[in-house]
Structure 1
């Protein structure tokens, strides 16, 4: 019985510390009932958790009568400790473009400014990154808004912790051809597709609809090699890398713009709904405006990538 009690208390402390981390001095403290309903905890468990955080001086609160109870003092470092968030580990795409380098640099810089240790792992394919985030291998994953929303349709355990706006993930995709005289996908072609990349998969399937072609499963980051070696006739690729690496020998055309393409261009942070503190850390410490500034400076060569 005592072991179960301490386990429940520990969970309550972690969840409540995560929510309090988003508050500031003079903000109203959620009521007992609000805490109970949010986390499905008993009144006594909530009271014990709040008493613990007050005794440890993570928060100082004061009642204002019928107006409620308000935050009078708050120690964010202690709340981080009690929410098990002194260190954060995430995964993002391989940093082959300046936008990705800027994104990684922005995350590293802003967390470092708050003395939060950030470690990044680079994994190809949104599916792999989402799974690694959901199963707890990593605290969060960087993917496109489109990939996030597609995954959330069938997986209610994933949530968007923070979104950075259009063109923070990439500027656009283009369609590359192995032959210089080709400008559209034709029947009989072999077209590369990366089944592990939700963005690449949907874009490609859209482009080849009603075409009599052969889909060749190929890692997206190897498509240019496959095109040059004539292993495939066409494939979708990130325009940013084409520009940055000076691939002037490649024959490519723009993809007709559709509504969902803007969602593919936007970088978002996803995490498990169970990791409330991860969401709180991003909302509290990561500035979208500063991220845009850092990405632009990395792209322009005014800031050396650091991650």
Structure 2
């Protein structure tokens, strides 16, 4: 429960000041009182009282050094986050059906813990569903591919928090082909998941000039559709595909033209937030280590670390 002192006028300013201080480095000089006052739209005395209130709670310790200014000497960032009232950051990512996604979830957990930011994960199928959840305020951060992020465009009010680089979202995409079928067969039944921006774009690249028939589905149904012979082909994430689809399949890498068009956009994971510059987003932007996310993911992939999310 929040201390009653933080429900006063000075306390409300202290909460805003706590958010401002989340990314301040220990042993760095603080901005001047009047700079905070101008940013927060209050008087100098109110800022001084708010800063003292934060010190009294033990969330931080400062040292005044005369004309050299005031320096931050100690800080409890978890306490500052709590006092700022920013709550738990909720991130939405794809269902963790592959070791790569388990590694990504584990890496996100590790990076948020290191940043001392309260964090929780939820799993949602389809980049569009995750985008809708972000824009409606149901989640604070989403994981999508670079391909999907670019496809959503500027009108989506998305902002990139980090691009984690190649092979962080998927290892590779390829064509899944039912045994006995060929890519040039007329009337080939091709499974397409309309909830996946990536899968739709990849399917268009591979089959745009072929006389195929599209079957709308989701990857959760794909194994059964292949088993029953209702689909002949699909473009999909090749990570552990034979463990998830119980059918006699041939996998074909994407051709050179498709790879040239995509670059690494289909395999790179992007952490995306709303482009609203909220205190929570700015705190995460300044503190979250993308390198820790990717190193942890790699450790999970190599078996040097157990998934934990």
- Per the normalisation by structure 2, the TM-score is 0.79
| In structure 2, C-alpha distance between the alignment counterparts of 1:273 and 1:46, rounded to whole Å | 30
Cα pair distance change 1:10/1:144, threshold 3 Å? farther
Bigger drift between 291-300 and 264-273 goes to 291-300
Kept in 1: contact 2:225–2:231 (CA 8 A): yes
> Mapping of 1:93-104 within 5 angstroms?
93-104=94-105
Instruction: Describe the SS at the equivalent of 1:240.
Output: coil
Match of 2:146?
A: 145
Q: Which has the larger radius of gyration?
A: 2
Distance across 2 between alignment mates of 1:265 and 1:48: 50
Structure-1-length-normalised TM-score: 0.79
More divergent stretch after superposition (77-86 vs 166-175): 77-86
Does the alignment pair 1:174 with 2:177?
A: no
| 1:256-271 to 2 correspondences below 5 Å | 256=255, 257-271=259-273
May I ask how many residue pairs the two structures share in their alignment?
295
Q: What SS does the corresponding residue of 2:240 show, helix, strand or coil?
A: helix
Alignment of 1:1-307 (within 5 A): 17-27=18-28, 29=30, 43-44=41-42, 48=46, 51-57=49-55, 58=59, 60=62, 62=64, 71-113=72-114, 116-156=117-157, 158-182=158-182, 184=183, 186-242=185-241, 249-256=248-255, 257-274=259-276, 275-281=278-284, 283-284=286-287, 286-307=288-309
Whether the aligned pair in 2 keeps the contact of 1:162 and 1:283 (CA below 8 Å) is no
Change (3 A) 1:187 1:143: same
Instruction: Indicate how the Cα distance of structure 1 residues 55 and 117 shifts in structure 2: closer, same or farther if over 3 A, else same.
Output: closer
For residues 48 and 217 of structure 2, the distance between their equivalents in structure 1, rounded to whole angstroms, comes to: 53
Deviation at 1:64, TM superposition (A): 7.4
107-116 or 172-181, larger mean C-alpha shift: 107-116
Give, in whole Å, the separation in 2 of the partners of 1:301 and 1:115.
Answer: 26
Q: What's the Cα RMSD here?
A: 3.4
**Contact 2:134 2:142 survives alignment (8 Å):** yes
